[in-house]
């Protein structure tokens, strides 16, 4: 599972980036 960890982190990062980008574009 050690090689799956970075993939999960990337998914979480992508989700946070999406949230940040949407909040920025809304302003």
> What's the total number of domains in the chain?
1
For residue 19, give the 3-state DSSP assignment: helix
Q: What is the pLDDT along the chain (27 residues), one digit of tens a residue?
A: 566 788 888 889 999 999 999 999 988
Q: What is the pLDDT of residue 13?
A: 92
Start-to-end CA span in the chain (Å): 40
* 2 DSSP 8-state letter: T
Is the pTM higher than 0.85?
no
Pull the structure tokens for residue 12: 């979480």
Query: How far is it, in rounded angstroms, from Cα 8 to Cα 1?
Result: 10
Query: Residue 9's domain spans which residues?
Result: 1-27
């Amino acid at each position: 599972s050690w090689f799956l960890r970075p993939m999960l982190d990337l998914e979480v990062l992508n989700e946070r980036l999406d949230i940040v980008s949407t909040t920025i574009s809304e302003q």
